[in-house]
Amino acid sequence: MNNEGFWVAIVAAVVAICFALTLLFAFQANAHDWYDFECCSERDCAPVIYSLRLPNGDLKVSTKNGFGIVTKETKKKSSRDNEEHACMLPNSQRVICFYEPLNY
């Protein structure tokens, strides 16, 4: 490969990486667009990866921020994408808000 071809390949790779990162961040920003600020602080909400109904009626949830417990006292909101989302501080089991599907 000559010197010119090498630089063309480098520039093409950089452009491809920038494009991929732009798409990644654009989709992450859209996911947070509808979380309420009082619940999320623009960083604490995430889709629920796994949920388990406990015998006492509480719900144990797992997100990228860790595990949390949704109790009767947890603030509940309607999910705009009909999926479960939990807002909690990282490394804390306290769920601030729980977004639930409409017909939950």
51-57: Cβ within 8 A, 24+ apart: 51/84
Strand spans (E) along 32-71: 45-47, 50-53, 59-63, 66-70
Average pLDDT over residues 81-102: 86
What is the pTM for the complete model shown? 0.64
Average pLDDT in the chain:
78
Q: Nearest-CA neighbor of 73 among 56, 85, 92? A: 56
Q: Nearest-CA neighbor of 48 among 59, 60, 61, 35? A: 61
Distance CA 87, CA 96 (A): 5
